[in-house]
Structure 1
């Protein structure tokens, strides 16, 4: 089985406040900070020059270490305050690092030369004023921001709350600008988010009927369930309408397994009459910035997402949902250590603790830190022994470590305790992979067929079944058809391209096989199975020396002992055949002039 398509981890991105939660568990150990900046300081001098700090900052940013970059750039700015361009860079990087106070300090006396800088100077001014309970300067700054860009999402979402903070409730609830936000889908979404904020402001003002009218308008079954449902359900609970709230919470939980929805259902089932507290103006502004951040992330604008998220957490740092998302954004920006730190900071009592741990495990597996991932999975299972997400993840890790018997025992024990009715396609897929690793193909085929019935378009499922048929010489054409279907869904998967090439190999069409498998090796150069297949194709084409080189390469890659032993046998057989070929006498041709010389 191709391990390069074994990853079953990967909830989708958090969008518009949607956080998908699995039942998992984490270690509280936070990795030590990186010391790129400190090491560079020692190398350069005790007091590095502004330019040296600038270079350190540039290098740190290239490595994804935003925190170190901000520290270095700020040091360079303080050493040379006259350099306006450097000061502007330090300002923006400080925001990305989450040091809002330092960004504010750097901004003092700075001449912003871009719209981005002008926007962020005003936004930070407004946010700091809100946090300091200074509503008048907050409104001045947010109005300055909207002069730079009248359609700025952060400005439009924050302004009604800041108006309310200034006591201007009528202006905060004014709907006259809504019609201007219907020109395209992006603006239309923003108009809905503004309406949701208006519902919150109505409730804060005591206008429950007006708040409910807006919630009813926004809340619809489907996507709107998890976008606007949580606020509406919490509102209904505060109104004492627990049954109506439960219906909405249940719909959210059914669609997303959202941690807060699951927690709310448990609370309601226990008879706890304590409804979620109504967020105040500052907390509501923090939530608005978080929503804006998730939308920016969905638009592939990760840096703006990170900036808005840090400002949200500056106003209110109590949300673990935001820490989950912070890790996602940092992971997207290739700052794996910062992402792990964000997830590791979530405490065991949090409803998001399990999801944070699962995300840490996924990151470790992607970095091939299987032993660390296994330790974390074991810790989680000590806390929650029947958690399906953790069991599936641990089984996948054990398979990658060539411990399929232990993986199967883990799955079977869980089934024995609580059954397998909750097995989704990921659990069934993992079960099939483990069976296949134990050479129990009929069981693997049965499990993957069940997975296919749940999600027949999943490329991992199609490739697994198709490759299984092809590799065994059973239904080769049908297997190749399944692989082609998988390739349509995932056209850049080297593993699936290799599977198709292997189908041609099994059919004896070696030239076609070579085309696909060479392409697969280029896409997945460290995959031992794909490299082994390339050696097999070379051998079939009579290119024995190249086959030997390719199989030797496999032994330099990360393989299981079973696979390594199979490759060694191929190498031995290939060496023997080359030795026989080299030992055969070779026919020689004598030149005519040589022949005359030998017979004078």
Structure 2
């Protein structure tokens, strides 16, 4: 069984939607454009710039692609395709002013361009204070795509900006948006916007009626709770607001909600300000980008988020999403830059740092990740996520004792009431690593109490019982439950196979452990188990090969010592057998009857 750290899942790679090509596997962004200019030298043709842009996009380097594509469009101003692509990539890279200049001459050839040209026009008009132009552009965008979320969510605010308050809160067109789950969510978001518009106009009773129709304790609290709680605070209803914020925390542990609770309970309480129309429009675009990202349309998410940041660059949570999107588009360098731009005094600072750490770990830069974790813990030593991340990094360095000391110190300071199942799981791993099974079993049972259906928990406990020989059958049953939930886990197949090994059923053990090695060929522990099974079946040469392989797989000190001991024992057996054969041969040649 392989013990691994538990961390938030990452998203899958998405299909390109707005620009050229499809994204291939890529390392960090490189200075492709500058390299190409140096290598080409002298005058560079528009086509060469185009090829550089295409290659950069294939490498996930949107920044380079934007520069190169713009150079290509500038070098060949009559090329409609180049101008259109430069416009789209410019938006993706946040070059809004450049994209605006290009948009005036873009002849759209796709629905994406036909939608994005007026969307950009609406946003730039809003920022310039040109309300009528913004209205004209948003109407043009909706004419292209009447269900385009970004446009639908901007329209009420633009109507209000034009003084059309009645139109901004008109619900007569809601049914036209559709009746699917996606459409229902969009309608609810538009309704929440109407509540804010009512409040901006001073119609607080109308605003509250809408908020109370939307807000419900539970999952919906995360979507509509923050705005409703802010409204309640501005109305002087602090206790009611606190209850809503507390529900948001219970559902999501959201950083803004946690900060709101601290603000409400603090000595220098200040009510939150009501966002103005421009800030509200930026928030609407942020929500549209978030939904696009959740639907695996990362490029539309990025384009929409860039428009949001153009209207209001202040919200740090937008920087968090910006990094997530760049990472999804395989540009870890741009993701790092986005997260590093979040100030250390932001409520999102720790989330940004955790994402930077995960990014570094994924790029095998564990030393830099550990340094970043230490810096963050110096500022906030009790943050559970940071403590867990450093403990996991120490575990990777085979310093389980140091990781346990870190967690124990945190418990001594603030207790363990906020521990998640992941925290207890990690602590169980660490105790097992220092041969404290009693404490490991105690921790894993606490994890099981919090989430008893997690296959990792069932497998850990089951394997622990199997490996110690006390409750083998019960342990195997737990592992079977884990495999039912995760049938393609090499670690769990190994655990079940190890149970059969412990029962002396070596042929059955071989079936499962060979499958486990196929699924997890680089796992040192599984390979060691396979060697043990081979030895039990009399396949000594194969056993020796598997144990030798373990030494090439980054085994920890305990595994290395165990395998070396087995190899030494096997070498001794082979040496003794060779000696016996030689002695027999000498005796046979010396026997008179055989001469």
**Contact 1:74–1:106 (CA under 8 A) maintained in structure 2:** no
**Cα separation, 1, equivalents of 2:234 and 2:268:** 13
Where does residue 256 of structure 1 map in the other structure? 252
Q: Which runs of 5+ in 2 are unaligned?
A: 12-27, 583-595
Offset at residue 91 of structure 1 (A): 2.6
Offset at residue 38 of structure 1 (A): 2.2
For residues 217-250 of structure 1, what are the alpha-carbon distances to aligned partners after superposition, in whole Å with 9 as ceiling and x for unaligned?
A: 1111111211101111111111222222111112
Offset at residue 352 of structure 1 (A): 0.9
Offset at residue 547 of structure 1 (A): 3.7
Offset at residue 556 of structure 1 (A): 2.8
Where does residue 45 of structure 2 map in the other structure? 49
Where does residue 410 of structure 1 map in the other structure? 406
Q: Does 1:485 align with 2:507?
A: no
**Contact 2:32–2:56 (CA under 8 A) maintained in structure 1:** yes
SS in 2 for 1:564: helix
Alignment root-mean-square deviation, CA? 2.5
**Cα separation, 1, equivalents of 2:507 and 2:81:** 57
Offset at residue 287 of structure 1 (A): 0.2
**Cα separation, 1, equivalents of 2:194 and 2:354:** 36
**Cα separation, 1, equivalents of 2:75 and 2:285:** 33
Offset at residue 123 of structure 1 (A): 1.1
1:454 to 450, 457, 465: 450
2:326 to 330, 353, 371: 330
**Contact 2:29–2:332 (CA under 8 A) maintained in structure 1:** no
**Cα separation, 2, equivalents of 1:207 and 1:155:** 25
Structure 1 residues 45-54 or 65-74, which shifts more? 45-54
**Cα separation, 2, equivalents of 1:92 and 1:486:** 47
Where does residue 68 of structure 1 map in the other structure? 64
SS in 2 for 1:223: coil
Q: 1:583 to 1:482 in 2, by over 3 A?
A: same
Q: Does 1:175 align with 2:139?
A: no
SS in 1 for 2:555: coil
Structure 1 residues 443-452 or 301-310, which shifts more? 301-310
**Cα separation, 1, equivalents of 2:533 and 2:85:** 53
**Contact 2:29–2:61 (CA under 8 A) maintained in structure 1:** no
Give the structure-2-normalised TM-score: 0.89
**Cα separation, 2, equivalents of 1:224 and 1:173:** 22
Offset at residue 492 of structure 1 (A): 4.0
1:103 to 76, 99, 102: 99
Offset at residue 317 of structure 1 (A): 0.7
**Cα separation, 1, equivalents of 2:341 and 2:546:** 45
Pairs within 5 Å for 1:439-478: 439-478=435-474
Offset at residue 209 of structure 1 (A): 1.3
Q: Does 1:206 align with 2:206?
A: no
Q: Which runs of 5+ in 1 are unaligned?
A: 14-31, 587-600
Offset at residue 511 of structure 1 (A): 4.4
Q: Does 1:223 align with 2:211?
A: no
Q: 1:131 to 1:552 in 2, by over 3 A?
A: farther
Structure 1 residues 202-211 or 176-185, which shifts more? 176-185
**Cα separation, 1, equivalents of 2:396 and 2:209:** 54
Pairs within 5 Å for 1:280-299: 280-299=276-295
Structure 1 residues 83-92 or 257-266, which shifts more? 83-92
Q: Does 1:438 align with 2:434?
A: yes
**Cα separation, 2, equivalents of 1:48 and 1:517:** 58
Where does residue 236 of structure 1 map in the other structure? 232
SS in 1 for 2:220: helix
Where does residue 8 of structure 2 map in the other structure? 10
**Cα separation, 2, equivalents of 1:268 and 1:203:** 21
Pairs within 5 Å for 1:353-368: 353-368=349-364
SS in 2 for 1:463: helix
Offset at residue 530 of structure 1 (A): 3.0
Give the structure-1-normalised TM-score: 0.88
Which is bigger in relative contact order (C-alpha 8 A, separation at least 6)?
Answer: 1
SS in 2 for 1:417: helix
SS in 2 for 1:82: coil
Where does residue 352 of structure 1 map in the other structure? 348
**Cα separation, 1, equivalents of 2:255 and 2:399:** 32
